[in-house]
Amino acid sequence: MNKTLETTARGLRTFGSDVVDGFFEITHNGFALLGLATVFVVLALAARPDLRATGEAQLATWLESRKPAPEATALTPTAIDRTTAASPLDLPKQQAAVAYWLSKKYRVAAEPLSVLVAEAYELGKRTKLDPTLILAIMAVESSFNPFAQSHVGAQGLMQVMTRIHEDKYESAGGTLTAFDPVTNMRVGVKVLQECIARAGSLEAGLRYYVGAANLDDDGGYAAKVMAEHARLVQVAGGKAPPVAPPALRAQAPQSQPVQVVAPAKPDGTAVTPPEKVALLADS
């Protein structure tokens, strides 16, 4: 009996020893093969840079596919993609001077103004309009508030009557883009061009733009625009006029949509006044 147990134990020890030896042998051979494969891959990649580039691209694609989905709170596009702002230091000297002067006068950040100034100069180049005139209209109309709206529905920087000029916003995505500063500028300039073409002169075109084409008085609108235009021409020419201190400007009447007072009919009833700003509809 004892002899049988000893034989069995010896057999188990031999079996266990063989298993362990086999495991180490397989592991050793596996590491050797892995080392050889690694050396082969390194040599192949060194000899074929194109293979390395392909492998890196595939690895990057695989890693990208393994990235977790963005959180629901992530903003797309990012804020920098959605922001209408740029450094005035990137503008040409003349445009930067205009942006800084308008920033100081209207107490608006120079960064968003830089985008508007650059766009005004680009629009001016395409339309043959003085860019400082475009900026002067925005100054008088909205004081550079892109969300401004008048009591008759004129909207945005250039206070365009959105419901009258819906067709001009179609290519930009619809009438809600009236509150996008650059889109509003482009539509406003189109309307201004039409007004000037119909009226035959700049000042008469401004009367059309404000909706006072058939009235004796435009409320001083054209004079305000031309005066601001003259100041901006000085700024662009390197001779910036002084800006009134905020305390003094606060006492001055704020720029509001021009209230057009219609003359009375012979029978004593009032004529319905034309609506404010950019009334020129396609006809």
Q: Are residues 31 and 140 in the same domain?
A: no
pTM: 0.63
Looking at the domain assignment, is residue 275 inside a domain?
no
Q: Are residues 52 and 187 in the same domain?
A: no
Q: Are residues 92 and 231 in the same domain?
A: yes
Residues 133, 208: Cα–Cα separation, whole Å: 15
Query: Which DSSP letter does residue 115 get?
Result: H
Q: How many domains does the chain have?
A: 2
Q: Are residues 129 and 229 in the same domain?
A: yes
For residues 240 and 234, the answer to whether their CB atoms sit within 8 Å is yes
Flag whether pLDDT at 66 surpasses 50: yes
Q: Are residues 135 and 194 in the same domain?
A: yes
Looking at the domain assignment, is residue 178 inside a domain?
yes
Q: Residue 70 has which token pair?
A: 């963005």
What is the extent of the structural domain holding 156? 85-246
Tell me the pLDDT tens digit for each residue of 67-102: 776 555 555 566 777 788 899 999 999 999 999 999
pLDDT tier at 47, thresholds 50, 70, 90: confident
Looking at the domain assignment, is residue 280 inside a domain?
no
Q: Are residues 58 and 119 in the same domain?
A: no
Looking at the domain assignment, is residue 49 inside a domain?
yes
Looking at the domain assignment, is residue 227 inside a domain?
yes
Looking at the domain assignment, is residue 168 inside a domain?
yes
Q: Are residues 22 and 89 in the same domain?
A: no
Looking at the domain assignment, is residue 256 inside a domain?
no
Q: Are residues 35 and 135 in the same domain?
A: no
Q: Are residues 46 and 94 in the same domain?
A: no
Q: Are residues 207 and 109 in the same domain?
A: yes
Rg (CA), the chain: 37
Highest mean pLDDT of the ranges 10-14, 116-120, 215-219, 246-250: 116-120
Q: Give the lowest-confidence range in 94-103, 133-142, 155-164, 274-283.
A: 274-283
pLDDT tier at 161, thresholds 50, 70, 90: very high
Looking at the domain assignment, is residue 268 inside a domain?
no
Q: Are residues 113 and 159 in the same domain?
A: yes
**CATH number for position 161:** 1.10.530.10
CA distances from 156 to 49, 139, 149, 153, 189 (A): 56, 12, 6, 10, 13
Q: Are residues 7 and 43 in the same domain?
A: yes
